[in-house]
C-alpha cells in the first residue's frame, strides 16, 4: 500500500506532465504557423506596394517623356521657321548684290564717258573764254560776277512777281470755296479717338500667383508665350503682369487668355492652351463685329469678306495714338461730304476713304508701304480700278489722277491734322521743333525764329536792312520747300516771315 501510493502519484504527475508538454507543443506549432502566415501576408503587401510604385514611376516617366517630346517638336518647328526666313533673306540679299554689281559696272562705264565729255567740254570752254576775254577786254572773273548779279536780280524780281500774281489769282477764286467745303465736312464729323501703347497691364489678385504663372521651371510662361506670340513680363511691379507685343491683336488675345486663367485659378499647359484658343475665337468674333459695324456706319455694301475682316483688325491698331479704324471711318465721311459738294463720284470716294489704310492690318512680315499694301489687298478683293488708284495715291505716290483720289488724300490729311487726333512722344516733338528752327535760321538774313502752335507754324523774323519784301517772300518759299523735303509731319505747317522797320526819334 505504501508503494502503490507513490507509484500512483508518480503516474498522475507523469500524465499531467505529458498532457502539459503535449499542449505546449501544440501551442508552439500553432504560433509557428501564425508567424509564417503573417510573414507571407507581409511579403505579399510589400510586393503589391513595389508594383504600385513601379507603375507610378512609369506613369511619371511617360508624362515627362511626352512633355519633352512636345518641347523638342516646338523647338524644331521654330528652328525650321528661322531657317526658312534666313534662306529667304539670303536669296533676297543675293539678288540685291547682283543688282548692285550690275549698277557698279554701268556707273563705271558712265563715269568714263562723262570724264571724256568733261575733258572735251573743258577744252571748248577754255577756247571760248580766251576768245571772249580778247573781244570784251574784261577778265573772266569780272564778266562772271557782272553777269551773275544782273541775272540774279532780274530772276528774283520776275519770279517773285509771277509767283505772287499766280498765288493771288488762285487764292482769290479757290480759297474761299475750299475752306467752306473742308470746314463744313470737319464740323459734321466727330469721332472719338483711342490712345494705346505696345503693352497691356493685367492686374492680379496678389504677388503669390506670379509663381504659378511662371510654373515649374518656367513651363507655364513658356507655353503661354509660345501659343500667343507675346512677351509676358513678370517683375517686381506689385499686383500686375505686363504683356508686351507690337501686334495689338496678339496682345489682346494674350490679355483675355491671362484674365481667364486668373479667374479660373487652374494654370497648367493644357488649361493655357484651352484659354488661348477661346480668347482667339473671341477676338476673331470681335474683329468680325467691328468690321461689320464699320460697314453699317458708312453705309457701304458689297465689300469682300477679307476686306471686312481687315477693317475689324484695324480696331486694334493705332497710329500716333489715333485709332486707325475710327480714322478710316472719319476719312470716309469727309471724302463723301466733299464729293457731294463738288459733284464727284460719292461711292468711289467713300470706298477709297474707308479702305485707304487697310494695309495697316497686314502682318509685320509684309513688304511695302501701307498704301501699297492697301492697294494690293483692294485689288485682290476685286475693287474697282478707280478705288484702287485712290487708295494707292492717298500719300502722293503715285500722283493722284482723279478728283476722288485728291479728295481721299485731303480727307486723310484733315483727319490726321485736326487738334486732338494724334499724339507723339515728347522726344519726337522736341526734335521736330528743333528741326523747324534749324531750317529757318539757315536762311541768310534771318534774325530769329519761333516754332508755335505745337509745331504747326514757324514765325521767322528777318533783318530789314538785309532782306526786302521780295526777299521775305522768297525766304518763306525756301523754308516751306526745305520742310517738305527733309521733314515728316501730319497735316501742314504754316511759314510766316515778318519784316519790320522801326524808326525812333526823340523831340527835345
- Which range is least confidently modeled, 17-31, 238-252, 489-503? 17-31
Compute φ and ψ for 232, nearest 5 degrees.
-100, 110
Tens digit of each residue's pLDDT (9 = 90 or more) over 283-295: 888 888 888 888 8
Mean pLDDT for 350-365 is: 77
DSSP symbols for 57-82: HHHHHHHHHHHHHHHHHHHHHHHHHH
Mean pLDDT for 450-475 is: 85
- The model carries a pTM of 0.46
Omega of the bond prior to 398 within 30 degrees of 0, cis?
A: yes
pLDDT of the residue at 283 = 84
Which cell numbers in the block locate residue 22? 503535449
Tell me if 415 sits within 8 A of 327, measured CB to CB.
yes
Same domain for 431 and 479, yes or no, is yes
Compute φ and ψ for 503, nearest 5 degrees.
-120, 125
Q: How far apart are CA 182 and CA 410, in angstroms?
A: 9
Same domain for 484 and 411, yes or no, is no
* Chain-centre distance for alpha carbon 79: 25
Same domain for 203 and 287, yes or no, is yes
Q: Which of 294, 325, 359 is the last residue of a domain?
A: 294
Q: Find, among 242, 247, 186, the residue nearest to 419 by Cα.
A: 186
Same domain for 407 and 376, yes or no, is yes
Number of domains in the chain: 3
Which cell numbers in the block locate residue 81? 521657321
Q: How far apart are CA 294 and CA 313, in angstroms?
A: 11
Tell me whether residue 408 is in a domain. Answer: yes
**Between residues 417 and 299, the one the model is more confident about:** 299
Tell me whether residue 214 is in a domain. Answer: yes
Tell me whether residue 465 is in a domain. Answer: yes
pLDDT of the residue at 180 = 57
Mean pLDDT for 379-384 is: 85
Residue 373 banded pLDDT, cuts 50, 70, 90: confident
Distances 428 to 23, 92, 462 between C-alpha atoms, Å: 108, 33, 28
Mean pLDDT for 438-451 is: 89
Tell me whether residue 154 is in a domain. Answer: no
Q: How many CB atoms lie within 10 A of CB 389?
A: 21
- Decide if pLDDT at 447 tops 80: yes
Are β-strands 322-323 and 318-319 bridged in parallel, bridged antiparallel, or unpaired?
antiparallel
pLDDT of the residue at 460 = 92
Count Cβ atoms within 10 A of the Cβ of residue 447 and give its class: 0-12 exposed, 13-18 middle, 19 or more buried: middle
Percent of the chain with pLDDT over 70: 82
pLDDT of the residue at 189 = 47
Which cell numbers in the block locate residue 254? 494674350
Q: Which of 294, 327, 360 is the last residue of a domain?
A: 294
Tell me whether residue 326 is in a domain. Answer: yes
Query: What CATH number should be reported for the domain holding residue 238?
Result: 3.30.1370.10
Tens digit of each residue's pLDDT (9 = 90 or more) over 198-239: 667 777 777 777 788 888 888 888 888 888 888 888 777 677
Are β-strands 322-323 and 240-244 bridged in parallel, bridged antiparallel, or unpaired?
unpaired
pLDDT of the residue at 191 = 43
Cβ partners under 8 Å of residue 349, min gap 6: 335, 336, 338, 339, 390, 404, 407, 408
Count Cβ atoms within 10 A of the Cβ of residue 362 and give its class: 0-12 exposed, 13-18 middle, 19 or more buried: middle
Q: Classify the phi-psi angles of 208: left when phi > 0, otherwise alpha if psi is within -120 to 50, otherwise beta.
A: alpha
DSSP symbols for 295-323: HHHHT-----HHHHHHHHHGGG-EETTEE
The helix or strand, by DSSP H or E, that contains position 344, with its residue range, turns out to be none
Same domain for 341 and 268, yes or no, is no
**Domain range spanning residue 359?**
305-417
Compute φ and ψ for 212, nearest 5 degrees.
-70, -35
- Decide if pLDDT at 423 tops 50: no
Secondary structure, 3-state, 103-154 = HHHHHHHHHHHHHHHHHHHHHHHHHHHHHHHHHHCCCHHHHHHHHHHHHHHH
Tell me whether residue 184 is in a domain. Answer: no
pLDDT of the residue at 137 = 64
Cβ partners under 8 Å of residue 291, min gap 6: 307, 308, 309, 310, 311, 312
Tell me if 328 sits within 8 A of 354, measured CB to CB.
yes
Residue 421 banded pLDDT, cuts 50, 70, 90: very low
- Decide if pLDDT at 22 tops 80: no
Same domain for 413 and 433, yes or no, is no
Residue bearing cell 497691364 = 201
Same domain for 353 and 290, yes or no, is no
Same domain for 383 and 443, yes or no, is no
Tens digit of each residue's pLDDT (9 = 90 or more) over 53-73: 888 888 888 888 888 888 898
Q: Find, among 197, 196, 199, 195, the residue nearest to 244 by Cα.
A: 199
Q: Which of 270, 294, 318 is the last residue of a domain?
A: 294
Task: Provide the mean pLDDT of the chain.
Answer: 79
Q: Find, among 285, 327, 328, the residue nearest to 309 by Cα.
A: 285
Tell me whether residue 461 is in a domain. Answer: yes
Tell me if 202 sits within 8 A of 259, measured CB to CB.
yes
Tell me if 457 sits within 8 A of 498, measured CB to CB.
no
Query: What CATH number should be reported for the domain holding residue 337?
Result: 1.10.3210.10
Tell me whether residue 491 is in a domain. Answer: yes
Q: How far apart are CA 449 and CA 472, in angstroms?
A: 13
Tens digit of each residue's pLDDT (9 = 90 or more) over 134-191: 766 666 677 677 777 777 767 766 776 676 677 666 666 655 565 555 555 554 444 4
Same domain for 325 and 405, yes or no, is yes
Tell me if 311 sits within 8 A of 332, measured CB to CB.
no
Same domain for 269 and 309, yes or no, is no
Residue 303 banded pLDDT, cuts 50, 70, 90: confident
Tell me the three state secondary structure of residue 238.
coil
Q: Catalogue the E-assigned strands of 430-504.
A: 446-452, 457-462, 494-498
Amino acid at each position: 500500500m505504501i508503494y502503490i501510493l507513490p507509484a500512483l502519484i508518480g503516474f498522475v504527475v507523469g500524465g499531467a506532465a505529458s498532457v502539459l508538454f503535449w499542449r505546449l507543443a501544440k501551442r508552439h506549432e500553432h504560433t509557428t504557423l501564425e508567424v509564417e502566415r503573417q510573414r507571407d501576408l507581409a511579403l505579399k503587401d510589400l510586393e503589391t506596394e513595389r508594383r504600385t510604385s513601379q507603375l507610378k514611376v512609369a506613369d511619371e516617366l511617360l508624362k515627362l517623356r511626352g512633355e519633352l517630346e512636345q518641347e523638342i517638336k516646338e523647338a524644331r518647328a521654330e528652328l525650321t521657321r528661322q531657317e526658312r526666313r534666313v534662306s529667304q533673306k539670303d536669296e533676297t540679299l543675293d539678288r540685291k548684290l547682283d543688282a548692285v554689281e550690275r549698277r557698279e559696272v554701268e556707273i563705271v562705264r558712265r563715269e568714263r564717258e562723262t570724264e571724256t565729255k568733261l575733258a572735251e567740254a573743258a577744252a571748248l570752254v577754255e577756247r571760248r573764254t580766251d576768245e571772249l576775254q580778247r573781244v570784251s577786254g574784261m577778265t573772266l572773273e569780272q564778266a562772271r560776277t557782272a553777269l551773275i548779279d544782273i541775272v540774279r536780280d532780274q530772276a528774283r524780281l520776275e519770279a517773285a512777281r509771277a509767283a505772287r500774281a499766280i498765288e493771288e489769282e488762285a487764292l482769290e477764286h479757290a480759297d474761299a470755296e475750299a475752306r467752306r467745303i473742308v470746314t463744313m465736312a470737319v464740323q459734321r464729323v466727330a469721332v472719338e479717338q483711342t490712345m494705346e501703347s505696345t503693352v497691356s497691364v493685367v492686374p492680379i489678385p496678389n504677388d503669390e500667383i506670379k509663381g504659378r504663372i511662371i510654373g515649374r521651371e518656367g513651363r507655364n510662361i513658356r507655353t503661354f508665350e509660345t501659343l500667343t506670340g507675346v512677351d509676358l513680363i513678370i517683375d517686381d511691379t506689385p499686383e500686375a503682369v505686363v504683356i508686351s507685343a507690337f501686334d495689338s491683336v496678339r496682345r489682346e488675345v494674350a490679355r483675355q487668355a491671362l484674365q481667364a486663367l486668373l479667374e479660373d485659378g487652374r494654370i497648367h499647359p493644357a488649361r493655357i492652351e484651352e484659354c488661348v484658343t477661346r480668347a482667339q475665337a473671341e477676338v476673331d468674333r470681335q474683329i468680325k463685329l467691328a468690321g461689320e459695324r464699320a460697314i453699317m456706319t458708312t453705309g457701304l455694301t458689297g465689300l469682300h469678306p477679307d476686306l471686312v475682316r481687315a477693317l475689324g483688325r484695324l480696331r486694334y491698331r493705332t497710329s500716333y495714338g489715333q485709332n486707325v479704324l475710327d480714322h478710316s471711318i472719319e476719312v470716309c465721311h469727309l471724302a463723301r461730304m466733299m464729293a457731294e459738294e463738288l459733284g464727284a463720284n460719292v461711292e468711289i470716294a467713300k470706298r477709297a476713304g474707308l479702305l485707304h489704310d487697310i494695309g495697316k492690318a497686314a502682318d509685320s512680315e509684309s513688304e511695302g508701304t501701307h498704301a501699297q499694301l492697301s492697294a494690293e489687298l483692294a485689288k485682290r478683293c476685286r475693287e474697282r480700278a478707280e478705288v484702287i488708284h485712290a487708295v494707292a495715291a492717298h500719300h502722293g505716290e503715285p500722283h493722284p489722277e482723279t478728283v476722288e483720289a485728291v479728295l481721299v488724300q485731303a480727307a486723310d490729311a484733315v483727319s490726321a491734322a485736326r487738334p486732338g487726333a494724334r499724339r507723339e512722344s515728347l522726344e519726337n516733338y522736341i526734335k521736330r521743333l528743333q528741326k523747324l528752327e534749324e531750317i529757318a535760321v539757315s536762311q541768310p538774313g534771318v534774325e530769329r525764329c519761333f516754332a508755335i502752335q505745337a509745331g504747326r507754324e514757324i514765325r521767322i523774323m528777318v533783318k530789314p536792312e538785309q532782306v526786302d519784301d521780295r526777299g521775305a517772300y522768297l525766304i518763306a518759299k525756301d523754308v516751306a520747300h526745305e520742310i517738305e523735303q527733309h521733314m515728316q509731319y501730319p497735316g501742314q505747317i504754316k511759314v510766316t516771315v515778318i519784316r519790320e522797320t522801326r524808326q525812333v526819334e526823340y523831340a527835345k
